[in-house]
Structure 1
Amino acid sequence: MVTDETRIDDDEPIPTTAEERAVWASLVTVAVSSGAYFALMVPRLLARPAEEVSWVTPMLWTMGLSIAGSVLLSIVVTVIAGAFRRGGCPPAGRGEVTSDVRDQEIGRLGWRASMGVISVGFGGALVLAMLDAATFWIGNLLFLFGTVGALVAAATKIRLYRRGF
Structure 2
Amino acid sequence: MSFGEKRSWIYVVSALVVSAVYFAVVLGRVPGADVRRIAYVWPMLTAIGVAVVLNIVATVVAAITSPRERDKEDERDKEINRFGEYVGFYVVSVCALLPLGLAMMEAEHFWIANALYLAFVLSSIASSIVKIVAYRRGF
TM-score using structure 1 length: 0.78
Q: What CA distance in whole angstroms lies between the structure 2 residues aligned with 1:116 and 1:96? A: 28
Match of 1:48 in 2: 33
Q: What CA distance in whole angstroms lies between the structure 2 residues aligned with 1:58 and 1:73? A: 22
**SS of residue paired to 2:28:** helix
Matched, 1:131 2:131: no
Q: Unaligned regions of 5+ residues in structure 2, if any?
A: none
TM-score using structure 2 length: 0.91
Match of 2:43 in 1: 58
Retained in 1: the 8 A contact 2:35–2:108? yes
Q: What CA distance in whole angstroms lies between the structure 1 residues aligned with 2:49 and 2:88? A: 20
Runs of 4+ aligned structure 1 residues displaced above 4 Å come to: none
Matched AA of 1:28? V
Instruction: Note the 1:1-165 alignment, pairs <5 A.
Output: 15-17=1-3, 19-80=4-65, 82=66, 89-90=67-68, 97-165=71-139
How large is the RMSD of aligned CA atoms in angstroms?
1.6
Kindly provide the CA deviation profile for residues 29-50 of structure 1, in whole angstroms up to 9, marking residues without a partner as x. 1111001100101211124121
Kindly provide the CA deviation profile for residues 74-131 of structure 1, in whole angstroms up to 9, marking residues without a partner as x. 1222333x3xxxxxx45xxxx7543221121111111121223211221111111111
Matched AA of 1:159? V
Structure whose alpha-carbon radius of gyration is higher: 1
Compute the displacement of 1:153 (Å).
Answer: 0.3
Retained in 1: the 8 A contact 2:9–2:128? yes
Q: 1:98 to 1:67 in 2, by over 3 A?
A: farther
Match of 1:6 in 2: none
Retained in 1: the 8 A contact 2:63–2:70? no
Q: How many residues align?
A: 139
Matched AA of 2:87? A
